Amino acid sequence: MEVVQTIADLRSRIKAYRRKNEKSVGFVPTMGFLHEGHASLLTKARAQSGLVVLSIFVNPIQFGPGEDFERYPRDAERDLAFAEAAGVDLVFMPSVEEMYPTPTRTTVRVSEVTTRLCGASRPGHFDGVATVVSKLFHIVQPDQAFFGLKDAQQVAVIEQMVKDLNLPVEIVPCPTLREADGLAMSSRNVYLSTEERQQALVLSQSLNKAKDFIQSKAATSFTSLELQNLVTQHIQTAPLAVIDYVEVLSYPTLEPFDQSHSTSSLIIALAVKFGKTRLIDNLILQVRK
Amino acid sequence: MEVVQTIADLRSRIKAYRRKNEKSVGFVPTMGFLHEGHASLLTKARAQSGLVVLSIFVNPIQFGPGEDFERYPRDAERDLAFAEAAGVDLVFMPSVEEMYPTPTRTTVRVSEVTTRLCGASRPGHFDGVATVVSKLFHIVQPDQAFFGLKDAQQVAVIEQMVKDLNLPVEIVPCPTLREADGLAMSSRNVYLSTEERQQALVLSQSLNKAKDFIQSKAATSFTSLELQNLVTQHIQTAPLAVIDYVEVLSYPTLEPFDQSHSTSSLIIALAVKFGKTRLIDNLILQVRK
């Protein structure tokens, strides 16, 4: 495994690989503090690609004022051991100065799909995500890029950007990984106190309840509002939970879910704060017609 | 010479070329109605590249309401003969539907360098330019792309975008070509009546006067305002000329030109209407310190 800090180094390694190999380049962009969710992306990339590239970069421009950029967990040494074990070939760990050498003047903005959910709670967040991901795609030039569906809106935004800008990369969405008790894996879980960690289980529980509810019903006999209420009410059984949003939308268009539409995928998406820690989770379901 | 209409066709031809050749791919993006200015870009591309790709696409999203998108001159047959004579290998002539198959939701926006000159007169214009050029770069994936300096702000915007987004392409700015009497070549020159065409000579004349003025002076003995007035006064000798702007800025940063700065390049840029036709021209000068 090689570790590089500069764009020029990364490009020359990938160019050298491409010159000798016909196999594809798989890319997993992350903000580090790797967990089993990332490992599942790397495993998929390893299985499909000749060269597996991992980036670790806590991207300042996707954090708003007052968000957790400064305290976002970082552990380069652990991450590198983790990456090596996951079969990564090449790790890109640029500095902020390397990625944004002068005040950046170019923004990639995706509209519509960014107006709700985290796009509404975190203004500018998805501009930062789309901009850094397009930069990383231009630097790595991968054949496939692997993203976790825990950040389902991020996947939708990136898929829209790739389609609209004709980026020559295939996006591979990968299922959310969960702890044994159901909590969706996240680098931010380390922020939680023991009590918060216990109460955060209401998130996955509430989504499971919604799933059971839908599966017990005929396809057209429930409303978005019923689902939203069911999830909200269960989350509210946790005294420490402060709901940011609970929404039921079509996926991946992220528009109001209307069963009369041709849309057949829905997402129940939620963001909930426990103390200072904001957690997200979601459930994406095919609805039988 | 091959002519293709679809992105898939273009990509497969370029991929086939890349597989067999080590030589570079040179790209000249245009809106068609080709003239000698375009020919000079194609000649440069031909000299430097193994494969010369020309795109002809009148990009609707860079035209504002009330601008000349509908009446912009088009002549595919003449353009193709012109391209063949210039040694083009591959022409990409997509439809609007091919480039924007669904309402596009992604915009590439460059700030600062777009606030003045045409960016001020034509709100949204450079969003449309940056977005379509990034799409074309993703589709063609050229090694070099050639742009005329007649659209000097466009070159500055694209260079900023390429730097900020780490696009893997080299931008090659090429000098403005002029008619024998000095008028800068432009597809829009065909709009001019005989009288307008004659009076439009004040544009290049005024820039020549500014150049003579600067060269007659010691480096620090003139001001931006003096240059601006000199150019403006000469343009105003043409009764049909309606000035949109005359500005003196640093180049390529397009900030107010201040001789005490380290900046040593200035641009005198102008946009002037003759009837319905809006013409632009500019002069970029190294200023000795």
- The answer on B152 and B264 residing in a single domain is no
Both A112 and A212 in a single domain? no
Asked if A106 lies within 8 A of B161 by C-beta distance, the reply is yes
Q: What is the pLDDT of residues B202-226, one digit of tens each?
A: 999 999 999 999 988 765 678 899 9
**B131 touching chain A per CB within 8 A:** yes
User: What integer is the mean pLDDT of B58-79?
Assistant: 96
B213 phi/psi in degrees, rounded to 5: -60, -50
Residue A21 falls inside a structural domain: yes
Q: Rounded distance, CA B128 to CA B69, Å?
A: 13
pLDDT digits (tens, 9 = 90+) for B118-159: 999 999 999 999 999 999 999 999 999 999 999 999 999 999
In angstroms, the CA B258 to CA B251 distance is: 11
Say yes or no: B100 and B228 in one domain.
no
Residue B20 sits at the chain A interface (C-beta within 8 Å): no
Q: A14 in contact with B at a CB cutoff of 8 Å?
A: no
| Active-site option among B38, B125, B234, B261 | B38
Q: CA–CA separation, A92 vs A95, rounded Å?
A: 10
Note if A38 is an active site residue: yes
The answer to whether the beta carbons of residues B124 and B38 sit under 8 Å apart is no
B179 is a domain residue: no
In chain A, which residues have their Cβ closer than 8 Å to the Cβ of B168?
A: 11, 138, 141
A206 CB contacts (<8 Å, ≥6 apart)? A230, A231, A232, A234, A235, A270
- Closest CA–CA distance from residue A110 to any residue of chain B (Å): 4
User: Is residue B151 assigned to a domain?
Assistant: yes
Helix and strand element counts for chain B (H, E) = 10, 10
Helix (H) or strand (E) holding B211: helix B201-215
Instruction: Indicate the residue of B104, B160, B165 with minimum beta-carbon distance to A134.
Output: B165
What's the confidence (pLDDT) of residue A103?
79
A153 CB within 8 Å of a chain B CB: no
Supply A250's token pair. Answer: 């079509």
Interface test with A, best of B11, B106, B114 (most A CBs within 10 A): B106
Cis peptide upstream of residue B73 (ω within 30 degrees of 0): no
Mean pLDDT of A254-279: 87
Residue B102 — pLDDT band, cuts 50, 70, 90?
A: confident
Same domain, A170 and A128: yes
Query: Is B57 in CB contact (< 8 Å) with chain A?
Result: no
Cβ burial A196-229 (10 Å sphere, 16+ → b, else e): bbebbebbbbbbebbeeebeeeeeeebebeebbe
Q: Which residues of A touch B135 (CB under 8 A)?
A: 164-166
Binding positions of B for (R)-pantoate: 62, 154
Pairing of strands A241-250, A90-92: unpaired
**Judging by beta carbons within 10 Å of its beta carbon (0-12, 13-18, 19+), is residue A245 exposed, middle or buried?**
middle
A16 lies in the same domain as A155? yes
Chain B hits for A169, Cβ within 8 Å: none
CB atoms within 10 A of CB A278: 19
- The predicted pLDDT at position A220 comes to 62
pLDDT class for B257, splitting at 50, 70, 90? Answer: confident
Q: Across-strand partners of B26? A: B52, B144
Average pLDDT, chain A: 95
Classify each residue of A130-159 as buried b or exposed e, where b means 16 or more C-beta atoms within 10 Å of its C-beta.
bbbbbbbbbbbbbbbbbbbbbbbbbbbbbb
Residue B12 lies in a domain: yes
pLDDT value at B258 more than 80? no
In a domain, B247, yes or no: yes
pLDDT at B92: 98
Using an 8 Å Cβ cutoff, are B82 and B169 in contact? no
The CATH number of residue A242's host domain is 3.30.1300.10
> Which long-range contacts link B241-244 to residues 24+ away (Cβ below 8 Å)?
B241/B199, B241/B200, B241/B202, B241/B272, B241/B273, B241/B274, B242/B272, B242/B273, B242/B274, B243/B270, B243/B271, B243/B272, B243/B273, B244/B121, B244/B270, B244/B271, B244/B272, B244/B273, B244/B278
Instruction: Quickly state the pLDDT bin for A286 (edges 50, 70, 90).
Output: confident
Kindly tell me the burial class for residue A266, based on how many C-beta atoms sit within 10 Å of its own C-beta (0-12, 13-18, 19 or more): buried
Query: Of B174, B197, B225, which residue constitutes the final position of a domain?
Result: B174
CB contact under 8 Å between B109 and A113, yes or no, is no
Question: Strand order in A90-92's β-sheet?
Answer: A2-4, A90-92, A51-56, A25-30, A144-148, A170-174
A253 in contact with B at a CB cutoff of 8 Å?
A: no
Classify residue A289: in a domain, yes or no: no
B130 to chain A: which residues are within 8 Å by CB?
Answer: 106
Do both B155 and B218 map to the same domain?
no
Summarize pLDDT for A195-238 with one digit per residue, the tens. 999 999 999 999 999 999 998 876 567 889 999 999 999 999 99
Query: Inter-chain contact B109–A107, Cβ cutoff 8 Å?
Result: yes
Angle at which helices B36-48 and B76-85 cross, to 10°: 40
Q: If contacts are CB pairs under 8 Å, which of residues 73-112 in chain A contact chain B?
A: 104-112
Please determine, for residue B283, whether its predicted confidence score (pLDDT) is greater than 60.
Answer: yes
Other beta carbons less than 10 A from residue B252's beta carbon: 19
Last residue of a domain, one of A174, A196, A230: A174
| Contact status of B14 with chain A (Cβ, < 8 Å) | no
Cα–Cα distance, A98 to A128 (Å, whole number) = 16
- Does the residue B180 lie in any domain? no
Residue of B nearest to A11 (CA): B168
Q: How is residue B274 annotated by DSSP?
A: E
Structure tokens at B182: 């000095």
Rg value, chain A, Cα: 19
B111 lies in the same domain as B164: yes
Per-chain mean pLDDT for chain B: 95
A105–B113 C-beta distance less than 8 A: yes
Task: Say if CB A269 and CB A282 are below 8 A apart.
Answer: yes
Which residues have CB under 8 Å from A225's CB, separation 6+? A248
Domain end: A144, A174, A204, which one?
A174
**A243-250 — which CB contacts under 8 Å span 24+ positions?**
A243/A270, A243/A271, A243/A272, A243/A273, A244/A121, A244/A270, A244/A271, A244/A272, A244/A273, A244/A278, A245/A117, A245/A120, A245/A121, A245/A269, A245/A270, A245/A271, A246/A270, A247/A116, A247/A117, A248/A224, A249/A116, A249/A117
Confirm whether A151 is domain-assigned. Answer: yes
For residue A114, the chain B residue with the least C-alpha distance is: B105
- Cβ distance A117 to A228 under 8 Å? no
Residues B14 and B152 in one domain: yes
- Do residue B83 and residue B208 come from a single domain? no
Kindly give the pairing relationship between strand B51-56 and strand B90-92: parallel
d(CA A125, CA A119): 7
A240-266 pLDDT per residue, tens: 999 999 999 999 999 998 765 555 799
**Domain containing B127 — which CATH number?**
3.40.50.620
Q: Is the pLDDT of residue A99 over 80?
A: yes
Backbone angles phi and psi of A51, in degrees to 5: -125, 125
Does A205 lie in the same domain as A124?
no
Closest CA to A246 of A260, A267, A262, A261: A267
What pLDDT, on the 0 to 100 scale, is given for residue B289? 55
Same domain for B137 and B10, yes or no, is yes
Domain of residue B75 covers: 2-174
Number of residues that make up chain A: 289
Residue A102's pLDDT is what?
83
Q: How confident is the model over B184-201, as a mean pLDDT?
A: 97
- Asked if residue A270 and residue A162 are part of one domain, the reply reads no
Q: Do A166 and B135 touch (CB under 8 A)?
A: yes
Choose the closest CB to A164 out of B105, B130, B164.
B105
Q: Is B141 on the interface with A (CB under 8 A)?
A: yes
Number of structural domains, chain A? 2
